[in-house]
Amino acid sequence: GEDVEQSLFLSVREGDSSVINCTYTDSSSTYLYWYKQEPGAGLQLLTYIFSNMDMKQDQRLTVLLNKKDKHLSLRIADTQTGDSAIYFCAETPGSSNTGKLIFGQGTTLQVKP
């Protein structure tokens, strides 16, 4: 089946690292994505990882993929108040052959000054 799960809320202090976790069910997923949504705004593509990779780093963002456990995480280093938003994990199911995205429920990140 196609299902993506995320915890709903994370609160951190400014300057700390944030780790947002995601699990998915489709073992044939090809790409896995992280999107950011600020209040009243659209979805901003933050980063993505291909399923044959374990890790991807992009400035303050580190994505870790554990394909065996179907677990994806997004680490934000030196979290800032501007990082406060909802973060969505999404997968492209390998079985779909269309590129449609299956999204998790979103994790609200609250950054306290």
Partner 1 sequence: DSGVTQTPKHLITATGQRVTLRCSPRSGDLSVYWYQQSLDQGLQFLIQYYNGEERAKGNILERFSAQQFPDLHSELNLSSLELGDSALYFCASSTTGEQYFGPGTRLTVT
* Residue ranges in contact with partner 1 by CB under 8 A: 30-31, 33, 35, 41-45, 48, 88, 90, 92, 96, 98-106
Least separation in angstroms between residue 105's CB and partner 1 is 5
Q: Which two tokens stand for residue 59?
A: 């400035």
Least separation in angstroms between residue 103's CB and partner 1 is 4
CA distance 65 to 74: 9
Cβ proximity to partner 1: between 8 and 19 the closer is 8
Least separation in angstroms between residue 15's CB and partner 1 is 29
Cα–Cα nearest to 27, from 60, 55, 2: 2
Cβ proximity to partner 1: between 44 and 57 the closer is 44
Cβ proximity to partner 1: between 79 and 88 the closer is 88
Least separation in angstroms between residue 42's CB and partner 1 is 4
8 Å CB contact between 108 and 37: no
Q: Which string of DSSP letters, residue by residue, matches 58-88?
A: ETTEEEEEETTTTEEEEEESS--GGG-EEEE
